[in-house]
Structures are given as C-alpha cells and as structure tokens.
Amino acid sequence: MRKTSVGVFRIATKGPGDVTGLLSLIESGAIDPRSILAILGKTEGNGGVNDFTREYAVSALCAALTPYIDLPPHRVEERIAFVMSGGTEGVLSPHITVFTRTDVVDSQSPSLSGKRLSIGIAQTRDFLPEELGRRAQIEETAKAVAAAMADAAIADPQDVHFVQIKCPLLTSDRVEAATGRGKQAVTHSAYSSMAYSRGASALGVAVALGEIESEVSDEHVLRNFELFSSVASTSSGIELMHNVVIVLGNSASSASPYEIGHAVMRDAIDSTAVIDALRSVGLRIGDGSAPNASRELTNIFAKAEASPNGSVRGFRHTMLEDTDISATRHARAAVGGLISGLAGTSAVYVSGGAEHQGPPGGGPVAAIARLTEE
C-alpha cells in the first residue's frame, strides 16, 4: 500500500520579508523544497484591505524558493499553496507553517500505528464574478473538498479536522464584466465581497462534510449563521478567481509522526473548546506538552470574530463600535491571548473573519501534535 509522510515545520519570522528560517531548514536538509505543498503564515500587518505584509511575504517566499524548484518566481504559486493571514495582535507571534508531503515505503515507519496527519489539495474551476457568494461557489467548493479528501486519502468526514480555503473577491472590473453580460454580482463592494466569498466557501465545506443536511441556497449566505462548518477556515484574496482547498485530517495511509484534532469554540472565550482540541491530540493545557512527554504541540489553527450581536455570554463587548481599532484586530488579540495561554506558546495561527466558520462569535480550533515516541 502506498503511504505518504507529511511534515509540519513551524518557523518563526523576523519580519514579513524574512525567509532565512526556511532557507536554513532547506540548506540543512530538514526540508526538501520539492516536497513543500503548502505554507500557512501569520504576518504582522493589520489584516485589513491595506495589509501589504501578506503579498510581501508571498513575494519573498517565491523569490527565495525559485532557485530550488526550477520555476520562475511568478509561477511558484502554481506549485505551492500560500495562505498568509495578516494580524499578530496581542501576544501572537509572526511565523509560517510549512507542510511537506513525500511518498514513503511502509517499512520506514514501523513504530507508528493508527491514523496520522494527512494533507490534500484541490482547486475549483474559475468562477464567473456573479457566481461568487452564491450557490455555484458553494457547490464547486464542495466538490473540491471531496477531491482534496481523496488526495489526502481520507474517506471519513470525521477524519477531516481543518479545511483552509483561499477564495476570490470582487473588484469593480469584475462586477462590470458581469453587468456587461446582463448578470448581477452579489455586491458591488470589494470589501463585502470578501465576506460573501468566505461565507460561501465555508458553506461548501459544510456541504461536503455533511455538516448541513438541508439544501443550501443563495439566500443563506451571510444571513443564516446557524449554518456553518466546524472545520472551515477561509480567506479571500484578489489574485485568483478560483478556490484553492487544503484539507488537513488523519489517514491510515499516512506514516506521518503528526496527528490532528479539532473542536469548535462556541464564543470568543470558549476555553473548554481549546482544551478539547488540545486533548484530542493527547496534550494538556498550559505548556503544550503531554503528561508522558511523548507528544508535543506543533501548532494550533483557529478562526476568531467579534460576536455579531455585540455581547459575549451576556456582557457587552465594544469591538464593533470602535472607530480606532477594527473588530477583526480586537478579536484576533483576544482569542489569540486565550489560545496562546492554553497552548503555552504564542506562535499560533489565529485568523479573523469567521462567516459560517463555526457559530456566530465562535470558530473552529484545530491542533497538530508531534508524536515523539510511542
């Protein structure tokens, strides 16, 4: 039976353009650059429309990797999926997480049993502008999630613990192109198209994984927030017109020394969910270690948002009315503080904008642990 091994490398960065940590691991042989499948990063911008640290980081990584993978800088993104989440508010620490995948022969990993971390990638066809934020995007995303599960050799939706999606947004050019063909885009605003695209993509995950049983239609997007996926994490960007889907889960086909689990935060102070996510991969709180030292935390991935109803467990929050700090920055800082405290490390991936990703005001939280011995 064909087996794959997935590697996960969390690398601290000194700035959005810093690639020295990655290059060191490549030069030392710890990372084979040709095995890199995806890089998820936290960059120290504001996470908003004018956050250029994300594209700067991707640009620097592409320029750094180009000599190793025989592709010009502008084509590196065809090979590797980059997802940069801006905003390291509070204690959050800028870093990247590099995912690699290689084929292995069975005998290489005799001591590891059970399902292990697996990663799969797929993408949708290009969308028409008028399809964004609507059923077409939901359905195509669902198909791509299924394809990425197959790529990861995961059959059971229960084994899927985090689905990271990059999705398009609308620009005025794209809106006009639709209008020119007699079609109406879901919104004329670039900013709110990001929420529509994130929301429809998350609903696509929920459909693929059977988290929603009923039919999902256009009018549910950004309206019925009771419909959500417990493992979706979506972010929109201007540079593409299709969805890129990264599925992370556990598979019997994986010989990886890593394991992944998840829970769902029902609100921004849901410490129980974070503890559950840590426990699901055998870790206890406070220091990211396990009682018997056989496991250690590799990273946590979570989504955060200010609860739309303006309160948390009955007490008013002020995130949505603050003219000086955007609500997404507030939410990342608070949830980042909680998760860092429970994980015992501040280099965690907490991303903002959680439409249909977990319940309103909450969001998914996944943990990856490394099994050092058994």
Q: Residue 323 and residue 244: Cα distance in Å, rounded?
A: 33
What are the structure tokens assigned to 219, written together?
């009018």
* Shortest distance (Å) from residue 287 CB to a second copy: 8
- Site membership for a second copy, residue 67 (CB under 8 A): no
150 φ/ψ sector (left φ>0, alpha ψ -120 to 50, else beta): alpha
From 166, 236, 254, 326, the catalytic residue: 166
Which of 289, 288, 244, 257 is CA-nearest to residue 100? 257
**Pairing label, strands 232-236, 116-123:** unpaired
Q: Least distance from C-beta 343 to a second copy, angstroms?
A: 8
Residue with smaller CB distance to a second copy, 241 or 285: 285
Does position 285 interact with a second copy (CB under 8 A)? The reply is: yes
State yes or no: residue 92 binds a second copy (CB under 8 A): yes
Q: Specify whether 166 is catalytic.
A: yes
Pick from 2, 107, 215, 316 the residue near a second copy by CB under 8 A. 316
Q: Does residue 215 belong to the site contacting a second copy (CB under 8 A)? A: no
Contacts of 329 (CB under 8 A, 6+ apart): 46, 47, 87, 89, 352
Is residue 235 annotated as part of the catalytic site, yes or no?
yes
Footprint on residues 10-39 left by a second copy (CB under 8 A): 12, 14-17
Site string for a second copy, 286-305 (x = CB under 8 A): x-------------------
Question: Left, alpha or beta for 350 (phi > 0: left; psi -120 to 50: alpha)?
Answer: beta
Q: Compute the distance between CA of residue 56 and CA of residue 15 in angstroms, rounded to an integer.
A: 10
Which residues, other chains included, contact 205 with Cβ-Cβ below 8 Å and sequence gap of 6+?
141, 142, 145, 163, 165, 211, 229, 231, 232, 234
Stretch that binds a second copy, among 100-108, 243-251, 322-330, 365-373 (CB under 8 A): 322-330
Q: Which of 27, 321, 373, 374 binds a second copy (CB under 8 A)?
A: 321
Does 66 bind a second copy (CB under 8 A)? Our answer is: no
**Segment near a second copy (CB under 8 A), from 25-33, 176-184, 211-219, 323-331?**
323-331
# chain residues binding a second copy, by CB under 8 A: 68
Interaction between residue 351 and a second copy (CB under 8 A): no
Q: Of 38, 55, 99, 246, which one interacts with a second copy (CB under 8 A)?
A: 55
SS3 string of 313-368?
CCEECCHHHCCCCCHHHHHHHHHHHHHHHHHCCCCCEEEECCCCECCCCCEEEEEE
Instruction: Please return the burial class of 121, using the count of CB atoms within 10 Å of its CB with bins 0-12, 13-18 and 19+.
Output: buried
Interface residue with a second copy among 202, 331, 365, 366 (CB under 8 A) is 331
Instruction: In whole angstroms, give the CA distance from residue 156 to residue 334.
Output: 33
Judged by the rule CB under 8 A, the positions of this chain that interact with a second copy are: 12, 14-17, 44-53, 55-56, 59-60, 63, 73, 88-95, 268-272, 274-275, 285-286, 311-313, 315-319, 321-326, 329-331, 333-338, 340-342, 344-347
Active site residues: 166, 235
